[in-house]
Structure 1
């Protein structure tokens, strides 16, 4: 059997294998497990490990063709194979199966999360560093104040700044284990202030990261939409300013092959531009196919009439949709495009029906 297909195991399958493996690891920690059951579980772990070995081989073979691709996937595949082997060779039989918990990383091997997270952290590094500095200052200040206030009352728990640091961490994070509690009035006032400071600091961290994720996703969507819009021949002669307006107005959409995009008789509120793929227009005589660079559905925006034909995806098709409100704005900002669309609509109305 070729190992290359194993490098293409989908993320859900990777997640399924990892979940099965982790459930087995959990089951193996059950006390008084029968020897037959333990052997069966270990054989299942070995079978999953063999699949991951084949996936690693497939990943290595794939990288020979594209050396710069899949660094994260290769690293996770290596860890998934090597860590259990090292545990089998050097760890006692009781705990060696625990190292299969490294398979927790398997569902993330094809995820773009790491790249996105790295970009967000890099973009927001100054703000994150600032909040982290505030966290460190408050943490040490709380430990110092707790030591001064509580050292005589609880010398066993607040007898030094390092001891008080644990209380400061637990309080600042608002975890509140309760193992170290200030006894004096001043200590309790300090604890309340530290708790409120912790809420604010963690809220700042969360807000910075959330804003960073939003901005980065929006930036990536804008770049992708720009590339899609620039691929439509109707928009290729426009300047950058006009393209920006169109990118903001158009909405990308991918339709699987065989799916109906719009039906005859429906009220239409948008038209479509084809970026990739082909659509089939059901006409009275015979179906007509439109390919990349074409558009359809414009009659519903120009005349307000119901759809005059059913349009379905002949292949998987990448579309850009333009709603009626944005069409009016486009007509004002780019009258030459609006005129081309109207002219095409009139020609089609005189010939084959269009949605």
Structure 2
């Protein structure tokens, strides 16, 4: 009997259910919500909680054991979404019980790869981030100390101790500037300006480190994915690692849905295509289907001839495209790659119609 696993439909539903649940929690904090309306809202929360229970059961029992091991972050979120409201219902009294359903904020993010990416970035950039954080702490304490010395006699209620001055230092260093504590002396205002400029620099360093870390990690992931795609093409399997690196950098991955047109007859062509997965149809008098490992469009790239046939995707196709400019660059840096493409194109030109 066919079953519809709850986890497969949960991805689009998680955001909707979490949004409904959180709006319900917000409504329950309204003082004038009483009686039957409150009861209906509480029943709605119970229904959402029950849906999350089903999701957790399906994940733990129905899914294969190896899938469970690969989905530890998702299972952790699912368990928290079930257990935290349950514990609140059993041990927390009063109207604050529903507030613990705010844990459902995590549900839309359960399948997100962002947190794994963030974890890798923080791990790799930990040394630099700790260094900037240390600078932040030193400047923060130094600003509080200087503010205390300069302003303690002028505003003893706000700068009468270093802990009191610390609040002003935090708001100034972060450039938030709530305005509840403002230096009155000339020296204090000079200090405030220096602290604000220091804060801009420190937060700029944090942002720069994280941005660089994310860029490097995303680029590494793209390179690994493209390497796997290129290595799957038989044409490149005999290339050395140096040549393979060159072509990985030059090729651009592309996915075309079934029925999609990849190129049209008569168009000027500035790229050729390598099929990683799927099948394409070359619309000639005798239609030809090409599968994984094949390539097409090479004559348009090499000679600049217009496309001689329309090529469409029979199934969803994963392609790698090589542009003419990149081909010329590869021809000079890795001539063996260009020779392989030219030789194979000439061998196939007389037997297999090419676009």
What range describes the TM-score normalised by the shorter chain of this pair? over 0.9
**Structure 2 residue 225 is the aligned partner of structure 1 residue 220:** no
- SS class of match (2:282): strand
| Correspondences of 1:7-156 after superposition (within 5 Å) | 7-61=7-61, 62=63, 64-156=65-157
Q: Is the 8 A contact 1:276 1:318 kept in 2?
A: yes
How much has 1:63 moved relative to structure 2? Answer: 5.5
Give the whole-Å Cα distance in 1 for the aligned partners of 2:50 and 2:21: 12
Q: 1:238 to 1:145 in 2, by over 3 A?
A: same
How much has 1:100 moved relative to structure 2? Answer: 1.1
- SS class of match (2:32): coil
Give the whole-Å Cα distance in 2 for the aligned partners of 1:260 and 1:2: 35
**Structure 2 residue 300 is the aligned partner of structure 1 residue 300:** yes
How much has 1:277 moved relative to structure 2? Answer: 1.5
How much has 1:343 moved relative to structure 2? Answer: 4.0
How much has 1:30 moved relative to structure 2? Answer: 2.3
Q: Is the 8 A contact 1:242 1:334 kept in 2?
A: yes
- SS class of match (2:239): coil
Q: 1:10 to 1:290 in 2, by over 3 A?
A: farther
Match of 1:332 in 2: 332
Give the whole-Å Cα distance in 1 for the aligned partners of 2:141 and 2:56: 46
Q: Is the 8 A contact 2:246 2:334 kept in 1?
A: no
Give the whole-Å Cα distance in 2 for the aligned partners of 1:55 and 1:184: 61
Gaps of 5+ in 2: none
**Structure 2 residue 202 is the aligned partner of structure 1 residue 192:** no
Provide, for residues 58-87 of structure 1, a one-character-per-residue CA deviation record: whole Å limited to 9, x for no partner.
221226243531111011001111111111
Segment of structure 1 superposing worse, 312-321 or 84-93: 84-93
- SS class of match (2:304): coil
Provide, for residues 147-184 of structure 1, a one-character-per-residue CA deviation record: whole Å limited to 9, x for no partner.
11111111111111111111111111111111111111
Gaps of 5+ in 1: none
Give the whole-Å Cα distance in 2 for the aligned partners of 1:325 and 1:190: 56
Match of 1:180 in 2: 181
- SS class of match (1:95): helix
**Structure 2 residue 200 is the aligned partner of structure 1 residue 160:** no
Q: Is the 8 A contact 1:63 1:70 kept in 2?
A: no
- SS class of match (2:69): coil
Q: 1:2 to 1:159 in 2, by over 3 A?
A: farther
Match of 1:245 in 2: 246
Segment of structure 1 superposing worse, 90-99 or 326-335: 326-335
Match of 1:262 in 2: 263
* Alignment coverage as a number of residue pairs: 354
CA RMSD of aligned residues (A): 1.9
Q: Is the 8 A contact 2:279 2:313 kept in 1?
A: yes
- SS class of match (1:66): helix
Match of 1:171 in 2: 172
Q: 1:4 to 1:152 in 2, by over 3 A?
A: farther
Give the whole-Å Cα distance in 2 for the aligned partners of 1:88 and 1:115: 32
Give the whole-Å Cα distance in 2 for the aligned partners of 1:18 and 1:59: 18
